[in-house]
Structure formats: C-alpha cells, structure tokens
Amino acid sequence: MKKIIITIGLSVILFYLLSFYFSTQHATLISIIFLLVVLWSNEGLALGVVSLLPILLFPTFDILSTNETVSNYSKSIIFLFLGGFMIAIATQKTELHKYISNKLLTLFPNTPRGIIFSLAITSACLSSLISNTTTALLLIPIAIYLSDDVKVRLRFVLAIAYGASIGGIVTPIGTPPNLILLGFMEQHHLEAIPFVKWIVLTAPLAMAMLIVIPYVLSIGMKNSVIDASLHKVKPLTSDQKRLIYILGSLIILLFVNSKIEPYYMGLGLNEKGILLGYGLLMFLPKIGFLTWDDTVKVPYEIMFLFGAGFSIAMAFSKTGLADVIAHHLLSLTGLPVVVLIVLVAALVTFTTEITSNTALISVVLPILYSLGNVGGVDLSLILFIATICASYAFMLPIATPANAIAMSSGVVKVSDMAKYGFIFNILGIVFITIIAMVYWQYSI
C-alpha cells in the first residue's frame, strides 16, 4: 500500500509542475502515464491490474472515452500473440523446450567459452518463440549447476539473460514491443512487416550480437573443461515428434504466405488468423496437446499490457500531445541520417533501462509518427529502429524480466550487470546503426 500512496503522491506533484508548461489535459495524461510506469516498475499492484487502469483513468480524466480505450484491448494483433501463447504452452507441456535446450547445449565445447556461447544461443532461440521470462526461468537454474566457480556462474547467467533479449527481437511474437509496433502500424494504415520478412530483417543483428556478446563475456576465463555434466538428451517422445511436425508446417506456411516483392506475392492469408488457428489446433483431440484447463497458463496480464500500451499510444495521438512534443523535436529534421538513427537508438536504449519497454515504446511511437519522414528517413524505418532498441537494454535488472530473473539468482550484482550492460548497450546501438544504414533502409 505504501508504494501505491507514494506513487499517487508523486503523480500529483508531477501534474502540478507540468501544468506550468502543458495544457491541463496534457499534464494529466503525462501524470497518468507516470503513475502506470512507476506501478509497473515497483510492482505496487499486479501487472494485469495496472494494465487495466487506463480503462478507468482515461475516461475519468477526459483523455479518451471508455469505448475508445476498451477498443485497444481487443485489437486483432493481440490474437496473433494469443495463438503464440497457446503454441508456447503446448511446447512446455510436451517438454519440447527441454529437448531443444539440451540438444543445443551439446553442440558446443564443454569449456567456459563454449558453454557461454551455447547458453546465449539457446536462450535466444527459445525466447524468439516463448517469453523471455520463461526462457530465463528454464535455463538459469541449469546454468548455476554447471560450475562451482562464482565468476563463471556470473557470466553463464548473464549470457542467458542477454541471449533472451537478443532473441526476443527475431520474431514479431518474441517480445511485447514488437506487437505494439505492428498494432501501431495497423492503426495508422502503415504497411505491416510480415512474419518472415521480420525474421529476415532482424536475423543479421541477432547473429552479430550472439557472436560478440558471448565472446566478450568469455574474455579472461580459463579454457578448462567444466566439471559438471550437461543434461543427457533423451529421445523424442511421440507427442514431441508430432508437435515438431506441426511447428514445421507452421513455419512452411508462414514462408509460403510471406510476400517477397517483386518476385512473389504470397498467399495473402492473414498472419493473425494463421497463428491463432495453429494455437487453437493445440486443443484438437488426437492432434493437439492442450485442454481448456491449460488456458490458465496463458499470461492474460501480458495481453492487458498490450491493451494499455495501445491505449497510451492512442491517447498521445488523440489529445495532440505527440504533436506538441514532436514540434519541440523538429530541429532533428535537419540532421544527417546516420546522426538521427544514432540519436533515436541511444535515446530509446538508455531510457528503457529505467522503465517498462512496452510503456516506453507506446509513448515513443506516436511521437516519432508525428515527426513524419524525418530528414528523409522513411517513417517505418525509424519506428522499427525504436522498437528494436526498446528490447536491447542490458544494464539494469528492472530493464527486462530476464535481467530481473538473473539478479534474483543471487549470482549477479547490479554493478556487474551495469558494467557489462553499458558495453553491450553501446555495441547494440553501433550494430543497429550500421545494419539500418546498409540494409534496413533499403528493405523496410
């Protein structure tokens, strides 16, 4: 209760200060967003509860009507993620994720550097399909028992946390900000990025990060064999084999359906329907793996979080606050393209260290949209860069759930995470800038 009272008090103070510079409506909106972000961060209320507050607060303070706010909680893009959740639950129920993890862990040398690479790559692969939180919870207990050396454990755990963040950007369903971007593009009639095209765009960045980050983490470690046996890979069960076939058919369908201009226009099927359809297939008797009781594992609070994010984005646009902030940022339009990309990447990367990446991207997207094609840079490219950078926060435990789980392991100190994280933040900004300049700006 103390956290809630303090947060409300700070929001009121912030409203009073902002009222000297903004209109009453804009000052109110910023104060409400501050309230939501702090409650998300300090866990004064449950994530799902905080995510539903816009339905009460926005109409009460004349920001959006109830119908306008509620409509953001049922956007079609949310059902794409729901289908992904169902597939992820089936993967966990059949323990296919454990098979994949153990198989990947055996592909690298049984040395500190080899294990760091295997853990980071395994974490990235899993987090591209299931949540970063689940990935970290699965792998970190394994990593801790791979060595008795405290320094080795530290780097193993960081490899998992950072790998989860790296892999989350590889697919549209890998992390919430990706879905926020797709929903925002749909809302503003921008051409959405198809599932397969998204993977093609992000794969080079993820591969570069998965080479550099594990290598840096392994610097200075003795190249001795780890005195801990890896989990033995058990043969696939019949359920696991069936799920692999189903997932394989999903991947093939997504590739066949993807539009590759100017050569191939795809099947034209709705990707949201495809993902939701495969999610529902998980309940089909003798084919699927789930019963309705399994739906209690669906993280509905994350779906509410999407709704809150979309509501914040709509509020910024509807009230004109995004235009007001964009007006103050118009000086950016004269900057060279590379400088603009670096500024956007750095601003988002370091800001997301201290706040929810979902809330941050919900605020940033409408502001960038109001700027238009800044400095000749395509608007979709700037929105894409900001979204990717929102997931590339490596310094602080509150930045991502994976970082928080790494900290809760008792192996990692804030100073350790900040030291490595600052280096990786800079590397991420550099890699994103280079790839955006030589690849993304010609492909998005």
Give the span between the Cα atoms of 94 and 115, in whole angstroms: 25
Enclosing domain of residue 83 = 76-297
Q: Indicate the length of the chain as a whole number.
A: 444
Closest by Cα among 348, 343, 336 to 375: 336
Residue 80 covered by a domain: yes
pLDDT at residue 436 tops 90: yes
Alpha helices in 145-175 (DSSP H): 150-168
Give the span between the Cα atoms of 164 and 119, in whole angstroms: 10
Q: What is the pLDDT of residues 302-343, one digit of tens each?
A: 788 778 878 887 888 788 887 777 666 666 666 788 888 898
- Taking a C-beta distance cutoff of 8 angstroms, is the pair 8, 35 a contact? yes
Write the Ramachandran bin of 387: left for phi over 0, alpha for psi from -120 to 50, otherwise beta: alpha
pLDDT at residue 227 tops 60: no
Contacts of 157 (CB under 8 A, 6+ apart): 140, 143, 144, 406, 409, 411, 412
Q: Is the peptide bond before 177 cis (omega within 30 degrees of 0)?
A: no
pLDDT, mean of residues 41-58: 86
Q: How confident is the model at residue 55 (pLDDT cuts 50, 70, 90)?
A: very high
Q: What is the pLDDT of residues 233-275, one digit of tens each?
A: 678 889 999 998 998 888 788 777 765 554 455 677 777 788 8
Write the Ramachandran bin of 222: left for phi over 0, alpha for psi from -120 to 50, otherwise beta: beta
Retrieve residue 94's tokens.
Answer: 């059949």
Q: What is the pLDDT of residues 31-47, one digit of tens each?
A: 998 898 788 767 788 87
Which residue is it, tokens 């795809």?
266
Crossing angle (nearest 10°) for helices 24-42 and 47-60: 170
Which residue is it, tokens 């994280």?
421
- Taking a C-beta distance cutoff of 8 angstroms, is the pair 390, 357 a contact? yes
Retrieve residue 28's tokens.
Answer: 């109110």
Residue 263: the pLDDT is 47
Terminal-residue alpha carbon distance, the chain:
47
CA dist list (Å): 339 to 115, 270, 352: 37, 37, 20
Residue 257 covered by a domain: yes
Contacts of 73 (CB under 8 A, 6+ apart): 55, 303, 304, 306, 307, 310, 311
Residue 226: the pLDDT is 57
Retrieve residue 82's tokens.
Answer: 């729901």
Residue 249 covered by a domain: yes
Contacts of 187 (CB under 8 A, 6+ apart): 75, 310, 313, 314
Residue 412: the pLDDT is 83
**How many domains does the structure of the chain reveal?**
1
Give the span between the Cα atoms of 112 and 102, in whole angstroms: 17
pLDDT, mean of residues 1-16: 90
pLDDT at residue 104 tops 70: no
Residue 334 covered by a domain: no
Residue 171: the pLDDT is 87
pLDDT at residue 130 tops 80: no
Residue 354: the pLDDT is 65
Residue 160 covered by a domain: yes
Give the span between the Cα atoms of 281 and 290, in whole angstroms: 9
- Taking a C-beta distance cutoff of 8 angstroms, is the pair 323, 370 a contact? yes
C-alpha torsion sign, points 276, 281, 283, 288: negative
Give the span between the Cα atoms of 190 and 202, in whole angstroms: 19
- pLDDT, mean over the chain: 83
Q: What is the pLDDT of residues 106-117, one digit of tens each?
A: 777 777 888 899
Give the span between the Cα atoms of 394 and 118, in whole angstroms: 19
Residue 129 covered by a domain: yes
> Which range is most confident: 32-41, 194-203, 349-358?
194-203
Residue 406 covered by a domain: no
Crossing angle (nearest 10°) for helices 357-371 and 300-318: 30
- Taking a C-beta distance cutoff of 8 angstroms, is the pair 425, 395 a contact? yes
Residue 2 covered by a domain: no
